[in-house]
Amino acid sequence: MADKYTGEKCIVCGELFEDGQDTVVCPDCGTPYHRSCWQQNERCVNTALHESGESWKPAPKVQYTPPPAVGTAVKCIRCGKESTPGQRFCSECGMPLNFSRGDTRPFNGTGAVQPDTDEPYGTGADDIPPTAGPRIQQIRLTAQSDLDGVKLGDFFDYIGNRSVFIITSFVKFAKTSARTSFNIAAFFFPEFYFFYRRMTKYGLFFLLTSFILSIPALIFYGQSGTFGQVFFSTGINVSSSEFRAVVEMCQLLSLSVQIVASIFANYWYYRQARQDITRIRATLGETEPDSVMQERIRGAGGTSWGAVICAVAGELLLTLGFLLIMTIVF
């Protein structure tokens, strides 16, 4: 069944269907879902079709021209940057390199830049600066700009604090095949950052991982008397080279976990934001007032210092609870 919907977009997760994937279809309106996405709600979330009595229809297909010969570099029709052989998207602006190559839209010209029909998003610090460079046509993003099926304005509402750095990463993820960036907060405090961004599942994972990797160090400090008192004695020789090697290995693993979190934090956040926004818009329907839609999107996203405080308290309780258990048992 999946082959019939290959290339279409799942209304819940926003990912495209691929050949051989396990899919289900709403018996009333015909909307296709990944089976796992359907099981999240156990019902069809395409309420707009149910209310109108219409049926799901495939999205109009974009016409593509044949790709260039293997090993041939192509100039982007939007900004004129020459690609490397085999590249699918422009590394400067994200335009598909095999899209409408017959288009007469100029690049690298000295004439006026073709303006967008919408006004630029924001008027101050919230603006996304145009992508520009030597002999490169300016690209302006607006509130209605499409980022892989989600409006840029919706992403701003979801993030809540108008972080231009994160939005810039979102644009890169949507327009190119990139999946990595760097988030310094996620590097130093991964579990707390994810709770702050209300990414609870990621926060719990990194909190538990951090605690597990700290256990050898807790055993060392609790048994060695480093803090002026021996709290317990497990019989493990914490001064041995073998045990010290375990402690150092866990410290290296902890550093590796921090690096992974910092590299992929923005992409995980982008993926969660896109899924939440798509679900909210599908649930409410496009007939809802913009104010209601924005309020729901802001409620699903945003930040939470309360969650950070709970995470700090949870990590402290895990540490003290472990030391207390070790003291009682040993």
Task: Spell out the residues 6+ positions from residue 165 whose beta carbon is closer than 8 angstroms to its own.
Answer: none
Predicted confidence (pLDDT) at residue 137 exceeds the cutoff of 60? no
Are 30 and 54 in contact by the 8 Å Cβ rule? The answer is no
DSSP 2: G
Compute the average pLDDT of residues 234-245.
Answer: 90
**Domain locations along the chain:** 2-52, 184-329
- Nearest by Cα to 256 from 315, 291, 320, 213: 213
Query: Between residues 111 and 139, which one has the greater pLDDT?
Result: 139
Say which residue, 311 or 97, is predicted with more confidence.
311
155-159, 195-199, 205-209, 251-255: segment of lowest average pLDDT: 155-159
Output 308 or 17, whichever has higher pLDDT: 308
Q: For domain 2-52, which CATH number applies: 3.30.40, 3.30.1360, 3.80.10, 3.30.70? A: 3.30.40
Nearest to 34 by CA among 49, 16, 48: 16
d(Cα 50, Cα 115) in Å, to the nearest integer? 38
At 210 the pLDDT is 96
DSSP string of 36-75?
HHHHHHTS---HHHHHHT----PPPPPPBPPPPPTT---B
Which amino acid belongs to residue 3?
D
243 vs 69: CA distance, rounded Å: 58
- Give kind and range of the element (H or E) at residue 298: helix 290-300
SS (H, E, C) 68-79: CCCCCCCECCCC
**Per-residue burial over 17-43, b = 16 or more CB atoms within 10 Å of its CB, e = otherwise:** beeebebbbbeebebbbbeebbeeeee
The predicted structure's pLDDT at residue 66? 55
H or E segment and range at residue 280: helix 241-284
Three-class DSSP category at 90: coil
The contacts of residue 64 (CB under 8 Å, 6+ apart) are 96, 98, 99
Any bridge partners for residue 83, and if so which? none
- CA nearest neighbour of 150 among 61, 32, 278, 276: 278
Q: What is the pTM of this model?
A: 0.60
Q: Is the pLDDT of residue 171 over 60?
A: yes
- In whole angstroms, give the CA distance from residue 133 to residue 108: 11
Q: What is the mean pLDDT of the chain?
A: 81
d(CA 315, CA 324): 14
More confident residue, 113 or 208: 208
Provide mean pLDDT across the span 1-16: 76
Angle at 268 between CA 265 and CA 274, to 5 degrees: 140
Condensed to tens digits (0 to 9), the pLDDT of residues 68-100 reads 566 677 777 766 777 777 777 777 777 777 654
